[in-house]
């Protein structure tokens, strides 16, 4: 049997600095028994689950949120790139090049690229793309539901984490 000591207990051999360890079960301060044997380790629980249906409305709502956030990230990144190009003078050079080769109507005023119009149309186009891709995801969810009736669905194995703490 393994030797166990409880540091919270008063040591009966406190006069001896090298007291032997206590063997076997020890009575704790609150009357609990401290066992020398460890409890066996439990393996993580595993459960098999079959996903037979996916809610198209849930997929649509989740897709709207996901694609809108992705669109905002791209829109913000393009805004930063546009600001960098504007401060370096690349946009002015581009407009002069376009006017020089005849792609821009030459007039008395210097041609410019209006960032407000560009980013307004980019935002509107992004919102339209978000709605279109969300509808496509919804149709894919409907197709999955039809196929899962025939095939049987998607089988998943869910496992509990090794470091799972009880709340």
122-139, pLDDT tens digit by residue? 999 999 999 999 999 999
Phi, psi angle pair for 3, to nearest 5°? -90, 140
- Cα distance between residue 46 and residue 133, in whole Å: 35
Note the pLDDT of residue 144: 93
- Is the pLDDT reported for residue 142 higher than 50? yes
More confident residue, 58 or 2: 58
Calculate mean pLDDT across residues 37-65.
85
Judge contact between 163 and 62, C-beta under 8 A. no
Q: Is 134 exposed, middle or buried (0-12, 13-18, 19+ CB in 10 A)?
A: buried
Stretch 132-157: mean pLDDT: 92
User: Domain boundaries in the chain?
Assistant: 58-146
Higher-confidence residue of 3 and 129: namely 129
Instruction: Give 1's pLDDT tier (boundaries 50, 70, 90).
Output: very low
pLDDT at residue 45, as a whole number: 83
- pLDDT at residue 2 is higher than 80: no
Mean pLDDT of the chain: 79
pLDDT in tens, 90-124: 888 888 887 777 766 656 566 677 888 999 999 99
In this prediction the pTM is 0.61
């Amino acid at each position: 049997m393994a030797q166990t000591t409880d540091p919270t207990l008063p040591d009966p051999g406190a006069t001896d600095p090298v007291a032997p360890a206590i063997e076997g079960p020890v009575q704790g301060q609150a009357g609990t028994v401290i066992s020398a044997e460890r409890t066996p380790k439990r393996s993580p629980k595993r459960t098999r689950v079959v996903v037979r249906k996916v809610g198209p409305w849930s997929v649509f709502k989740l897709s709207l949120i996901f694609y809108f956030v992705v669109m905002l990230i791209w829109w913000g990144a393009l805004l930063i790139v546009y600001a960098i190009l504007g401060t370096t003078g690349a946009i002015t050079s581009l407009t002069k090049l376009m006017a020089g080769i005849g792609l821009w109507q030459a007039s008395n005023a210097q041609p410019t690229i209006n960032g407000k119009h560009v980013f307004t149309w980019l935002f509107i186009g992004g919102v339209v793309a978000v709605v279109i891709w969300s509808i496509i995801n919804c149709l894919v969810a409907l197709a999955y539901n039809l196929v899962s009736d025939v095939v049987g669905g998607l089988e998943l194995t869910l496992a509990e984490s090794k470091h799972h703490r009880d709340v």
